[in-house]
């Protein structure tokens, strides 16, 4: 019995392991409580943030919905305006096929457009004119139209075309040009009578001498030749007058301005080679394409070159330059000859105004009308004793 009692006391004096576990457990519960409190606070904070973000998202969704509705309304309005637009609008995809178009485009072109390859089917039917961005177009039924077609490239490879039917304004422009020429014809009637009277009287005088019975064969040949010269002068005068009144009616085509200039130089230079003038010619190495009548354009350039030759003496300089500026070809024909007084410059393009005894006064007037008919313009710079520069501006093809 003594031994059992001793063992029991020994157990009582040993550290209680259950008490140690309780302390650790209390500490663990304390940590768990603190963690739970922090978790609750974090959850409440997160809940507040979620609520705030929900409100912000609702506001953003409302703003987006409002923007969408506004853009939908704007899109609908743009579609309505595009449908009501009197001009034709055609959108081409990256492959060149018609992607979208408005009713006016189909009405102007008078043919189905959906999915049509523009460059292969429709564009070949356009015929170039002398006016930039204007084309002659023949409807399949046979109606001729004058269309203005302007295109712009979009960033992703597509193109958008704006098409106007300018047939009526084109006809009005032609009528206006015709009326202006008729008005000018009326104003120059008196000058024409004077121009015709002098060579006609001379031709009549020489012809009258041919009727003399005692006239020898050499004299007869001389008078016949002089009469022929005067009659040819009359013919040239009448042809120039008719060309001025009619305006430009020759068929226009795509011509290389460089080649036309070279042809004009080959015509003029051999006739003045003995005078030893200095020629300075600067032409681009690539073609300079314009819409014009090759023959009439060459005639206009020859006219200006002959004027430059007549204005310069032996040893003088004639300079020609051709370059491109602002979608137009600029041709300058300059000389260092006698130049013009201010009063002559003001009248130099008037019909029948000339400073040369043998001139008709129609050459520069015809040149100005011709250049204008191609959609271009001609400019003049001149000073007495310093020379003259004519500048022709023609739209690029």
What's the pLDDT tens digit per position in 256-308? 999 999 998 988 887 766 667 889 999 999 999 999 888 888 888 988 998 89
- Closest C-alpha among 210, 198, 99 to residue 157: 99
**Mean pLDDT value of segment 27-42:** 85
Task: Determine the Cα–Cα distance for residues 248 and 237; give it in Å rounded to an integer.
Answer: 17
Number of Cβ within a 10 Å radius of residue 165: 19
pLDDT, residue 3, reads 46
CATH of 251-397, one of 3.30.565.10, 3.40.47.10, 3.30.2270.10, 3.90.700.10: 3.30.565.10
> What is the Cβ-side half-sphere exposure of residue 256, based on CA atoms within 13 angstroms?
9
Task: Determine the Cα–Cα distance for residues 334 and 388; give it in Å rounded to an integer.
Answer: 6
pLDDT, residue 319, reads 94
CATH of 88-165, one of 3.40.50.1950, 3.30.450.20, 3.20.20.100, 3.50.50.60: 3.30.450.20
In this structure, are residues 288 and 362 in contact, taking their beta carbons and an 8 Å threshold?
no
Q: What is the distance of C-alpha 196 from the center of its chain?
A: 43
Read off the pLDDT band of 318 (50, 70, 90): very high
How is residue 213 written in tokens? 């019975």
Q: Is residue 2 over pLDDT 80?
A: no
CATH of domain 174-247: 1.10.287
3 state DSSP class of 258? helix
Reported pTM: 0.49
**Mean pLDDT value of segment 173-177:** 85
Q: Is residue 341 over pLDDT 70?
A: yes
Number of Cβ within a 10 Å radius of residue 44: 10
**Mean pLDDT value of segment 67-90:** 78
Task: Determine the Cα–Cα distance for residues 303 and 268; give it in Å rounded to an integer.
Answer: 9
**Residue matched to tokens 């080959």:** 266
């Amino acid at each position: 019995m003594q031994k059992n009692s001793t063992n029991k006391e020994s157990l009582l004096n040993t550290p209680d392991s259950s008490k140690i576990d309780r302390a650790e457990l209390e500490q663990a519960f304390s940590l768990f409580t603190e963690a739970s409190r922090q978790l609750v606070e974090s959850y409440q904070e997160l809940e507040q943030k979620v609520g705030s973000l929900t409100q912000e998202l609702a506001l953003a969704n409302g703003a987006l919905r409002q923007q969408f509705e506004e853009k939908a309304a704007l899109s609908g309005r743009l579609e309505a305006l595009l449908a009501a637009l009197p001009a034709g609008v055609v959108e081409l995809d990256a492959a060149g096929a018609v992607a979208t178009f408005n009713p006016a485009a189909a009405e102007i072109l008078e043919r189905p457009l959906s999915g049509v390859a523009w460059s292969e089917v429709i564009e070949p039917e356009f015929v170039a004119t002398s006016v930039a961005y204007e084309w002659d177009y023949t409807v399949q039924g046979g109606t001729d139209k004058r269309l203005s077609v302007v295109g712009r490239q979009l960033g992703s490879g597509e193109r958008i075309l704006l098409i106007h039917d300018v047939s009526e304004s084109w006809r009005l422009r032609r009528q206006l040009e015709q009326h202006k020429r008729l008005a000018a014809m009326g104003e120059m009637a008196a000058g024409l009578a004077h121009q015709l009277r002098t060579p006609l009287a001379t031709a009549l005088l020489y012809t009258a001498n041919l009727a003399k019975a005692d006239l020898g064969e050499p004299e007869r040949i001389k008078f016949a030749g002089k009469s022929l010269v005067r009659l040819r002068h009359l013919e040239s005068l009448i042809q120039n007058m008719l060309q001025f009144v009619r305006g430009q009616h020759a068929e226009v085509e795509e011509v290389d301005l460089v080649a036309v200039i070279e042809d004009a130089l080959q015509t003029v230079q051999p006739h003045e080679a003995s005078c030893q003038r200095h020629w300075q010619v600067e032409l681009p190495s690539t073609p300079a394409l314009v819409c014009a009548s090759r023959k009439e354009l060459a005639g206009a350039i020859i006219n200006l070159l002959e004027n430059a030759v007549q204005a310069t003496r032996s040893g003088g300089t004639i300079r020609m330059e051709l370059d491109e500026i602002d979608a137009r070809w600029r041709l300058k024909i300059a000389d260092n000859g006698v130049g013009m007084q201010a009063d002559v410059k003001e009248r130099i393009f008037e019909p029948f105004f000339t400073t040369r005894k043998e001139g008709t006064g129609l050459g520069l007037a015809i040149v100005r009308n011709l250049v204008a008919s191609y959609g271009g313009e001609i400019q003049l710079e001149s000073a007495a004793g310093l020379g003259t520069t004519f500048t022709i501006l023609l739209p690029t093809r």
